[in-house]
């Protein structure tokens, strides 16, 4: 028997309950992983609230790390005892999780389980954003929201390593200092400016940025559009403040023939692409090219507190659960 955190109905953090369940056995193409740590992400919050519907009752959690305890029929890439990180599509808030073997990767030496669990989904997201969605190089200027957060802290570092100029949007001076330590060239405290777009125009000499990586959603969507240079790209990849309301495509034309995309990781980290993406991510971490902040740790029984902390906007870096 192991532990798991369930939701029976959508709602606030109080929707969680901790219970026991028999450890699941892997089916064809699956691995069973004894979790050392499970990542907490905004997608989990969206599912808990009902913005992203899931079948109830549900065990949330998209990523984790630990040791393989069994492999199902057809699994040859992993054996019991292997340290792995995985994308599960749900179910990582538990002692044992089933994950598709094609969505897992071995954790190399020099990368701890805690770091792997805190970074797998977030790091692959950052890689997707800077290498695939809008391939950055030293000719670009990028606007990055939540720049001291789980994805943002990696995104700023990766963009900086690629030579891009980075303007980081943060919520306080401590987070601004963190963003600068990650390589941001400029910071904007959203609580101390009346207009993010005006600050971006001032910093860029009126030109605007080539790309805006916006994980906030409704509250910053127009500011991001107004911050873009002609033919710039708006990358809306999160809904921390709520989903973006409907708008007319003519707004893109009016602001300079802009591009808009709403990517999701699972359309990029496909089974055939995930191994190379994971290898690149872990190499960046193991080599020290990207520094992963020590994650904030909660026991599995305090999942509700972990969610409340992430929703508060006070967190910096990643949050993990320990079974």
In the chain, the N- to C-terminal Cα span, in Å, equals 13
Give the chain's domain count: 2
Domain assignment present for 87: yes
pLDDT digits (tens, 9 = 90+) for 164-223: 999 999 999 999 999 999 999 999 999 999 999 999 999 999 999 999 999 999 999 999
Distance CA 256, CA 194 (A): 23
Q: Same domain, yes or no, for 298 and 254? A: no
Q: Same domain, yes or no, for 141 and 112? A: no
Distance CA 141, CA 212 (A): 9
Cβ contacts of residue 293 below 8 Å, gap of 6+?
153, 178, 316, 317, 318
Domain assignment present for 59: yes
The one-digit pLDDT tens for each residue of the chain (323 residues) are 899 999 999 999 999 999 999 999 999 999 999 999 999 999 999 999 999 999 999 999 999 999 999 999 999 999 999 999 999 989 999 999 999 999 999 999 989 999 999 999 999 999 999 999 999 999 999 999 999 999 999 999 999 999 999 999 999 999 999 999 999 999 999 999 999 999 999 999 999 999 999 999 999 999 999 999 999 999 999 988 999 999 999 999 999 999 999 999 999 999 999 999 999 999 999 999 999 989 999 999 999 999 999 999 888 878 999 99
Q: Same domain, yes or no, for 282 and 228? A: no
Task: Please state the separation of Cα 313 from the chain's center in Å.
Answer: 15
Q: Same domain, yes or no, for 318 and 236? A: no
Domain assignment present for 269: no
Q: Same domain, yes or no, for 257 and 193? A: yes
Domain assignment present for 102: yes
Q: In CATH, what number is assigned to the domain containing residue 286?
A: 3.90.180.10
Kindly compute the dihedral angle of the four CA atoms of residues 39, 43, 45, 47, in this order, to the nearest 10 degrees.
-120
Angle between helices 113-127 and 150-161 (to 10 degrees): 60
Give the domain extent around 179.
137-261
Q: Same domain, yes or no, for 64 and 13? A: yes
Domain assignment present for 272: no
Q: In CATH, what number is assigned to the domain containing residue 157?
A: 3.40.50.720
Cβ contacts of residue 225 below 8 Å, gap of 6+?
212, 234, 251, 252, 255, 258
Domain assignment present for 186: yes
Q: Same domain, yes or no, for 242 and 174? A: yes
Domain assignment present for 266: no
Domain assignment present for 130: no
């Amino acid at each position: 028997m192991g532990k798991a955190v369930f939701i029976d109905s959508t709602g606030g953090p109080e929707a969680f309950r901790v219970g026991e369940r028999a450890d699941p056995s892997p089916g064809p193409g699956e691995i069973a992983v004894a979790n050392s740590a499970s990542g907490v992400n905004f997608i989990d919050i969206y599912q808990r609230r009902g913005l992203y519907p899931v079948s109830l009752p549900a065990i949330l959690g998209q990523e984790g790390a630990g040791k393989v305890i069994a492999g199902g029929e057809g699994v040859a890439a992993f054996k019991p005892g292997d340290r792995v990180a995985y994308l599960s599509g749900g179910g990582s808030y538990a002692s044992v999780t089933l994950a598709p073997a094609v969505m897992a990767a071995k954790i190399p030496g020099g990368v701890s389980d805690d770091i792997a669990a805190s970074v797998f989904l977030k790091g692959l997201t950052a890689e997707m954003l800077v290498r695939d969605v809008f391939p950055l190089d030293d000719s670009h200027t990028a606007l990055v929201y939540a720049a001291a957060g789980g994805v943002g802290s990696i995104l700023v570092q990766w963009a900086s390593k690629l030579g891009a100029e980075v303007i980081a949007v943060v919520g306080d001076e401590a987070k601004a200092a963190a963003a600068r330590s990650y390589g941001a060239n400029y910071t904007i405290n959203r609580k101390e400016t009346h207009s993010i777009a005006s600050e971006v125009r001032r910093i860029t000499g009126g030109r605007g940025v080539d790309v805006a990586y916006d994980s906030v959603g409704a509250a910053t969507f127009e500011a991001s559009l107004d911050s873009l240079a002609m033919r710039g790209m708006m990358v809306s990849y999160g809904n921390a403040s709520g989903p973006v309301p409907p708008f007319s495509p003519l707004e893109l034309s009016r602001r300079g023939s802009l591009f808009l995309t709403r990517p999701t990781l699972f359309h990029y980290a496909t089974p055939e692409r995930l191994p190379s993406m994971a290898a690149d991510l872990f190499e960046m971490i193991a080599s020290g090219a990207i520094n992963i902040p020590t994650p904030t740790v909660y026991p599995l029984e305090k999942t509700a507190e972990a969610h409340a902390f992430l929703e508060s906007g006070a967190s910096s870096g990643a949050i993990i659960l320990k079974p």
